């Protein structure tokens, strides 16, 4: 079963599991954006780490193909593999 997720919310860790809140963005009658919670994606920590590795590989592939580009003017604060913010605008 496929589920479309527009965004993620909180990420919580406990009891050997990672819980990722999933959100769907919708417009109300006034045209304003609002988020609707769609439930949690729950993974064992080992699966979360494999997903992290796979996502990093996908990002590198999108960078190589020119689908994404790195922004040099902003840095991600904190620890992690990424040193630059990814700009999701397609290169033309």
Please state the pTM of the whole predicted model.
Answer: 0.67
Domain extents in the chain: 7-87
CA distance 37 to 34: 10
Q: Tens digit of pLDDT for each residue in 21-32?
A: 999 988 888 888
CB of 42 within 8 A of CB of 16? no
How many residues would you count in the chain? 92
Phi, psi for residue 7 in degrees, rounded to 5:
-160, 170
Q: Tens digit of pLDDT for each residue in 33-64?
A: 888 899 999 999 999 999 999 999 998 898 88
């Amino acid at each position: 079963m496929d589920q479309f997720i527009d965004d993620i919310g909180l990420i919580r860790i406990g009891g050997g599991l990672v819980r990722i809140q999933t959100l769907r963005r919708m417009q109300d009658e006034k045209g304003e954006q609002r988020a609707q919670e769609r439930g949690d994606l729950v993974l064992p920590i080992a699966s979360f780490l494999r997903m992290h590795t796979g996502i990093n590989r996908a990002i590198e592939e999108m960078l190589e193909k020119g689908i994404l580009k790195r922004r040099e003017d902003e840095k991600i604060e904190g620890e992690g593999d990424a040193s630059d913010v990814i700009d999701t605008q397609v290169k033309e």
